């Protein structure tokens, strides 16, 4: 599958976030490929906005790629690891942030799933490096 996005417009003067009229534009492309039990997906996005005084244009980019595998036995998923890499910009591209997500899901039954996920962020400027480990148990009734 392949998807495209294109949005442009303006924020009129006097609106909540606009002292003067400011133009904005968003463009993007995303994809998803399914190969047997693997799902590979990703996206590339671009944002371009006039700054608050409309003297310059601020542009930021974002992209991610993700690989997911679902082991199916007896017609249902049993376990599913995930690997994801994100990269995005802030402050007109002067700050770059990289994120890595490693996840593992285990399906105890059709309606009970356990998850462990490690997330790591490395960033420039005001974005602090950070990481976390998440353990969750989901039950749906």
**Tens of pLDDT, residues 106-133:** 999 888 999 999 999 998 878 888 999 9
Q: pLDDT per residue over 6-60, tens digit each?
A: 999 998 888 877 788 889 999 999 999 999 999 999 999 999 988 877 788 899 9
Domain limits at 98? 2-139
- Total domain count for the chain? 1
Select from 134, 102, 97 the least CA-distant residue to 115. 134
Q: How far apart are CA 31 and CA 43, in angstroms?
A: 6
Select from 36, 92, 91, 98 the least CA-distant residue to 68. 36
**pTM for this model (two decimals):** 0.83
């Amino acid at each position: 599958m392949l998807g495209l996005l294109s949005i442009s417009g303006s924020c009129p003067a006097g609106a909540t976030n606009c002292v003067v009229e400011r133009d904005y534009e968003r463009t993007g492309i995303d994809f998803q490929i399914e190969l047997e039990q693997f799902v590979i997906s990703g996206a590339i996005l671009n944002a371009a906005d006039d700054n608050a005084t409309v003297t310059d244009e601020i542009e930021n980019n974002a992209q991610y790629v993700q690989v997911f595998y679902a082991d199916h036995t007896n017609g249902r998923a049993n376990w599913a690891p995930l690997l994801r890499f994100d990269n995005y910009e802030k402050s007109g591209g002067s700050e770059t942030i990289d994120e890595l997500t490693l996840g593992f899901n285990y399906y105890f039954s059709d309606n009970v799933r356990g998850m462990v996920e490690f997330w790591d962020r490395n960033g420039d400027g005001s974005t602090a490096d950070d990481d976390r480990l998440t353990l969750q148990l989901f039950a749906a009734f």
